[in-house]
Copies of this chain bind each other. A is one copy, B any other.
Amino acid sequence: MKTTIYDIAKAAGVSIATVSKVINGTGRISTETRERVNEIMQEMDYQPSVVASALTGKSTFTIGLLIPDLANPLYAEIARTVEDRGRELGFNLVMCSTDNKPRRENDYITFLRQKRVDGIIISTGISDEEGIGNLVRQKIPVAVVTREMASLEADSVKVDDFLGGYLAASHLTGLGHRHIAVLTEDLSLATSRERVRGYRYALNEAGIDADKQFVVESVSSVEAGRKHALEMLRSDRSPTAVFASNDLLAIGVVQAAKELRLSIPWDLSVIGFDNTLLAGIVDPPLTTVAQPIAAMGRQVMDLIIQEVRGEKKTKRRIVLKPELIVRQSTTFPRKV
């Protein structure tokens, strides 16, 4: 049998209450007994059961993280920083990759509720805000990262997507481009819409008619990006630059360009979004709009833990600034 608090109590010749107190550092215990008990726990390799403890109303010290896909570097990096901050604070992470499938998202949420996780961090795109609203109603702390849940009272941490789109597009217009396509993730995501809105704003500012540009919606993957880019680039009104709403898509564009023997950046400028590991690795290195991933991860975890600890009554909405990272995939247009 696993050793329990009873075993320790017996071995130490004290009551379980006393053991409990030394474990939690509560109540008043003589240094003497404290030391003895600690020693014995050590010797017997005793691990207090957080499941029993949770049953009495304490935390489970577990947070659920809902993301679209762990295999996508952006989310892997977010998960990593969230996890790190959690560890520092004594919380573990249970990973939930939903592939943006509402069905899967709901299954995971049910799971997490049954496990009585202390809180849930959401980074998935399409969420039926219905199901999540339930969480909030049940007083389960919810925090959103990378997105925003319009109708929801929840903490959120995200980048200023509008500004990001603006930064990307105005970098391009500044370089002299007038024919700038955009390849974006699902426009049902507020995030994507904002980035496109920023793009339009920049084009407007430069006196370019945004309505005459390609705006192509795509599933978020290198392969899908490549396919769509191929079409775009083969068209007779092929752009001189493309703004992809994330690095995966941008890489797809790069690959398509290579296939068509277009040299980047000379024949085509490409700019991405996110600044994941990938951006530095493609050839040429990708100019992209960086999300402050580490800061975002750390901050959501901080927010939700405050919530869990009841240290906070009001919901907070944190918006961080994106940063343009200029590498080698953009330059002025060759042909005017």
**Interface on A for B, CB 8 Å cutoff?**
2, 45, 47-52, 54-55, 60-62, 69-71, 73, 76-77, 79-80, 83-84, 87, 92-97, 104, 107-108, 110-116, 134, 138, 222, 251, 258, 277-278, 280-283
Contacts and interface: CB of A to CB of B under 8 A. Distances in A.
A115 B50 contact: yes
A43 to B, nearest CB: 13
B83 A95 contact: yes
A226 to B, nearest CB: 11
Contacts of A48: 114
B71 A277 contact: yes
Nearest to A79: B70
Most buried by B among A96, A104, A111: A111
A264 to B, nearest CB: 10
Contacts of A55: 49, 51-52, 55
B69 A80 contact: yes
Contacts of A54: 51
Contact of A94 (B2, B93, B283): B93
Nearest to A252: B281
Contact of A92 (B47, B94, B258): B94
The 6 closest A-B pairs by CB, nearest first: A283-B283, A76-B76, A70-B80, A47-B113, A71-B80, A92-B94
Contact of A62 (B71, B94, B251, B278): B94
A183 to B, nearest CB: 17
Given A50-B116, A79-B95, A281-B281, 6 more contacts: A2-B138, A62-B94, A71-B80, A73-B73, A83-B96, A283-B283
A202 to B, nearest CB: 28
B87 A107 contact: yes
Contacts of A277: 71, 73, 278
Contacts of A94: 62, 92-95
16 contacts: A2-B138, A47-B113, A47-B114, A48-B114, A50-B115, A51-B55, A51-B115, A55-B55, A70-B83, A71-B73, A73-B76, A87-B107, A92-B115, A93-B94, A278-B278, A282-B282
A111 B92 contact: yes
